[in-house]
Amino acid sequence: GAPPRFKYCLNTSTINGSQLDVLEQVKIASKTGYDAIEPWIRDIERFQESGGKLRDLRNAITDGGLTVESGIAFGNWITDDPQQRQEGLERCRRDMATLAAIGGVRIAAPPVGATRGEKLDLDRVAERYAALLEIGRQEGVVPQLELWGFSTNLSTLAELLYVAAAAQDRDACLLLDVYHMYKGGSDFQNIGLVPGARMYCLHMNDYPAVPPRDQIQDKDRVYPGDGVAPLTEILPTLARGGFAGSLSLELFNRSYWELPPEEVARTGLNKMRQCVQAAWGEG
């Protein structure tokens, strides 16, 4: 069969978004042929601090033929500390409001604040995720439970699936990342358990065999197809489970950051398309 009609999305870390105005990021994504963008809230805030208006950003995104499929944020919704958690949830709410103002409907919810230290009780985590989902409903932005492979908590698909189910909430959903799953110890044999209808975005990337898993870092991510990740198995397996959302290219490769951002964006888009073709035997 044919692949789903994935949306191709640019996560702006790929082009070192911290060094580019967010309007410039939008222009690059649009010009190089992406369907969507996944911005970082901190870049949007930087834009606002320099006098930029969210309305203008929203218009630029629409005029560029793009949608906002997700957004990267770091509110601490998960911590055991009630005071920190309250502040974290307030930040999450602000981030959601910011994203909603530019047309975004989903936001990343990673385990910020629980990456080191104790293993948390997953039932408590589920309650906290449910509380975050409730805030999301108020703001019109769905928080996606995000796996971070280096983290003490939420570093495996098993933990993510448990928390999503235990939250007892119809809006619960997952945000997976090829590199993070590998970093967290996955060999991708359990990826058929992902409820594709409850996943809207996959962070697309690849990783080399060296450095080894215990030493590999975000900066070692490479273009999809340039590493050893079993992408030709991962993508069809997710699709069979109902996933037909966006493939969002998220890289932090310093050697790419030295190249013109437009070139990196274009190369990444082509490589994602080639991966999909190869996975469905069309390449």
In this prediction, residues 125-150 reach a mean pLDDT of 99
H or E stretch including 175? strand 174-177
pLDDT, tens digit (0-9, with 9 covering 90-100), for 32-74 = 999 999 999 999 999 999 999 999 999 999 999 999 999 999 9
Mean pLDDT, the chain, rounded, equals: 98
Q: What does the pLDDT read at residue 282?
A: 72
Sole residue written with tokens 């991966």:
275
With b for 16 or more beta-carbon neighbours within 10 A and e for fewer, the 263-279 pattern comes to ebbbbbbbbbbbbbeeb
For residue 103, pLDDT beyond 70: yes
Q: How far apart are CA 113 and CA 120, in angstroms?
A: 11
108 pLDDT higher than 60:
yes
| Mean local confidence (pLDDT), 106-111 | 98
Q: What is the mean pLDDT of residues 177-203?
A: 97
Domains in the chain (CATH in brackets) are 7-279 (3.20.20.150)
The contacts of residue 123 (CB under 8 Å, 6+ apart) are: 166
Query: What pLDDT band is residue 205 in, cutting at 50, 70 and 90?
Result: very high
Mean pLDDT to the nearest integer, 190-210: 97
pLDDT value of residue 7? 99
pLDDT at residue 53, rounded to an integer: 99
User: Does the pLDDT value for residue 207 go beyond 80?
Assistant: yes
DSSP per-residue string spanning 181-194? HHHTT--STTGGGS
Model pTM above 0.85: yes
Indicate if the alpha-carbon torsion angle 217, 21, 258, 222 is positive or negative.
positive
Q: What is the pLDDT of residue 1?
A: 81
The encoded tokens of residue 156 equal 């495996």
State what percent of residues in the chain have pLDDT above 70.
100
Element (H, E) at 139: helix 122-139
